[in-house]
Amino acid sequence: MRLADQIDWARHRLLDTEKVVFPDNGRIISALNVGAWQVQKAVMKVAPDKFRRHTFRNLEVGKYRYQLPRGHVRMKQVFVNYGGGEIEATPGMEMLIERGTYGNDLHYVTTGGECVLSMKPDKSVEDGLHFLEVPVISMADDDDDLEDQGLSSALHMAVVLWAVKLLKPEGGEENKDLDAEILSVLGDISTCYGMDGSGDAVFIDGTGLGLGEDGV
C-alpha cells in the first residue's frame, strides 16, 4: 500500500477526509512511520533477518573513519575491499585506536555515527566499504511502499491503525477496539513470514507492544 493510500485510509478512520483536524499530511505521515516501526519490531521477533539493506561507501586513501548510513537499527556485517576483494571485518576494538593495533586483522567499531576501521586503506576504492544493516522502514513520498522495504502488504493496515491510535485522544473504548484490530492484523505475521520453527503460530505479546492486555 502506497503512502498516499495509507494517508487516505488514516483520514477515513479519523473522520477527517475534509482535512479539518489535520490540514496537512505531516503529522499523519509521522504517525504512519511510527506505526511502521512498531509493526517492523513485531515482525523481527518472528523473522529477524527479514529487513536488511546494503549500503556502500567509497574508501579513501588514509581514511579510517566513515559516516554510518542514516536510519538503521543495527549493523549486521561490515565488509571492506582494499582492492583485492571483500574481507569481512570483525566487530569490536577500543574506542580510540592506533593504526596497527590488530596487525593484519581487520576490525571495526561503530561510534558517534561513524564506522572506525582498524586499518587505513593505502588506495581509494569505489564502493570499497560495504555495510549490511537492519534499516528502519519508513515512508516520505506518496509512492513509497513498505512492501518494497520488506513489509508484507497483509500487514500494512496495522500500520494505518497504529497511526490512527496515535492521532486519536488517549483512553476510551474506541482505543481498546483499535488495539484489538491491530493485534488481529498482526496475527497474520506467522502466515506472512512462517512459523517460529516449532510448527506453532507465533504468539504476539500485545502488552510488550503497548497494546491492550492480550496477545495473538
pLDDT of residue 149: 93
Q: Give the cell for residue 12.
A: 477515513
Answer for the pair 123, 83: CB distance below 8 angstroms, yes or no: yes
Biggest CA pair distance of the chain: 65
For all residues of the chain together, what is the average pLDDT?
85
Q: What is the pTM of this model?
A: 0.79
pLDDT of residue 215: 41
Q: pLDDT band for 197, please (50, 70, 90 cuts).
A: very low
Evaluate if residue 100 carries a pLDDT over 80: no
pLDDT tens, residue by residue, 57-81: 999 999 999 999 999 888 999 999 9
pLDDT of residue 77: 94
d(CA 126, CA 57) in angstroms, rounded, equals 7
d(CA 12, CA 9) in angstroms, rounded, equals 5
Q: Give the cell for residue 213.
A: 492486555
Query: Can you say how many angstroms the Cα of residue 158 is from the centroid of all Cα atoms in its chain?
Result: 16
d(CA 68, CA 58) in angstroms, rounded, equals 12
